[in-house]
Amino acid sequence: MLKKKTKIIILSAMVLLLGVTGYLNITLNNQTINTGANVSNTTTSYNYFDSYRTDRSATRDQEILYYTAIIEDENSTADAKSAAQDKKLALIAEMENELALEYLIKGLGFSDAIVTTSSSYINVIVKSNELTSTEVAKIVSVVTEQTDYALAEIKVIPVV
């Protein structure tokens, strides 16, 4: 029983730290903008893309730790261990697919891109002031070639 309580406390502390990090990130970004500091579009984009990747990485690291704890826990049932292993492998595959898509989209000439997926949709966020229909078509083409998502399930979002 002590192991479960300890794991719950550790997991809760990690979630709390993630929340505090997000709060501080938003607060500090708002202070920079409100003080009239010279913030260019490039800096805003850089902060957005970097911040998103940092948050995504932290969240996924916690998920992997959670699944690993279940797998290694001697009190976990065989079904729970199997389910945790399957979810961990699926998460790793999703991470690899998103990373590959991000690099392929950057290869199209965009300076930065973020890909997020779920079971029913995929979002592609690219660093761009405005997207032409040709650019959107290229991005959608890459996504449909590399994944099983249909055209209606793909959303391309430009961010300055």
User: Domain locations in the chain?
Assistant: 2-159
Q: pLDDT per residue over 65-80, tens digit each?
A: 999 999 999 999 999 9
CA 29, CA 23: separation in Å to the nearest integer? 10
Q: Report the CATH fold assignment for 2-159.
A: Helix Hairpins (1.10.287)
pLDDT above 90 as % of the chain: 61
CA 85, CA 67: separation in Å to the nearest integer? 7
Residue bearing the bigger pLDDT, 11 or 141: 141
Model-wide pTM > 0.85: no
The mean pLDDT of the chain is 85
Residue 33, pLDDT score: 54
